[in-house]
Structure 1
Amino acid sequence: MPQPPSAPGQASPVQASPAQAQELARAGTAVLLDVREAAEFAAGHAPGALHLPLIALAAGVELPPEAVGRTVLAICLSGHRSQRAAELLAARGIEVLNVTGGMGAWAQAGLPVTTPDSSTGHVI
């Protein structure tokens, strides 16, 4: 059953580095959820990431079926939108981690960035 929204002063969702997020996703224990806008996602995202913009998540759209029952790794460009997404998901009772530094940190760490057609992407 979903938990009520976090009360002011309650702990923030747990953070994961891009490298930690990649390992969790590779192991299959977690799924990356990119909460950026469609154009940002199309330009470049982490391989295997699911897409659900923050605005849709905030409007109550359900997670993609591939994410149900798994830990969610919320990611955006810099970590700010994904922090909000993580708070929304935690309030729904979903186990979630925020990827610190977002796709900017992901790319800086030398981790792969791809496009929907599997070509090399770039972070915008």
Structure 2
Amino acid sequence: MLRSAFSAAVFCAVLSATSAVAQTTPAAGQPAAPAAVAPSRPITPPAETQRLLRKRNVVVLDVRTPEEFATGHLAGAQNLNFRDPNFPTQLAALDTTKTYVLYCASGNRSGKAAVLMQEKGFRKLVNAGAFKDLKAAGMKTE
């Protein structure tokens, strides 16, 4: 009985390891899986973002470069350049209890910025995505 239980445990372990390898190893002729992608937050639809912007105590952060920001931005947005080496330091100056709506050119930088902010203790974060999409949805710009 003990031998049978041991054999079953070994079989399950081998089966599990084989399954894990099968999931990570591409089949013959198939491309390898891409390298790990940096975590990001999903993009919130413009209509939901617009509703959120009507609430009080919501801070809008444009995480594009100052040059991108100068070409147009959401009304009242603050520019906090994600690519600036001091970005993490600048985050430390923000109030972690407020709600932050972040956007950039595509939603990529704002998603990564939101993850970084979450790691630093921010809890109310929205990745609003691309500026061009927010503008096209009729949000007020400057």
Taking structure 1 as the reference length, what is the TM-score of the superposition?
Answer: 0.70
Post-superposition shift, 1:70?
0.6
Query: SS of the residue aligned with 1:98?
Result: strand
Distance of aligned partners of 1:57 and 1:19 in 2 relative to their CA distance in 1, 3 Å threshold: farther
Post-superposition shift, 1:106?
0.5
Work out which of the residue numbers 85, 91, 105 in structure 2 matches 1:63.
91
Partner Cα separation in structure 2 for residue 61 and residue 36 of structure 1: 17
Answering whether residue 129 of structure 2 is matched by residue 97 of structure 1, we say: no
Instruction: Spell out structure 1 runs of 4+ moving beyond 6 A.
Output: none
Query: SS of the residue aligned with 1:55?
Result: coil
Deviates more, 1:18-27 or 1:33-42: 18-27
Partner Cα separation in structure 2 for residue 18 and residue 75 of structure 1: 11
Aligned AA for 1:72?
Y
Post-superposition shift, 1:30?
2.0
Partner Cα separation in structure 2 for residue 113 and residue 33 of structure 1: 13
Aligned AA for 2:120?
R
Post-superposition shift, 1:46?
0.4
- Cα root mean square deviation, aligned: 2.5
Give 1:16's aligned residue.
44
Q: Is the 8 A contact 1:74 1:98 kept in 2?
A: yes
Aligned AA for 2:118?
A
Distance of aligned partners of 1:43 and 1:55 in 2 relative to their CA distance in 1, 3 Å threshold: same
Q: Is there any run of 5+ residues in structure 1 with no aligned partner, and where?
A: 1-7, 115-124
Bigger-Rg structure (1/2): 2
Distance of aligned partners of 1:97 and 1:57 in 2 relative to their CA distance in 1, 3 Å threshold: farther
Partner Cα separation in structure 2 for residue 20 and residue 113 of structure 1: 17
Structure having the higher helix fraction is 2
Q: Is there any run of 5+ residues in structure 2 with no aligned partner, and where?
A: 1-35
Q: Is the 8 A contact 2:43 2:126 kept in 1?
A: yes
Query: SS of the residue aligned with 2:54?
Result: helix
Query: SS of the residue aligned with 1:44?
Result: coil
Taking structure 2 as the reference length, what is the TM-score of the superposition?
Answer: 0.62
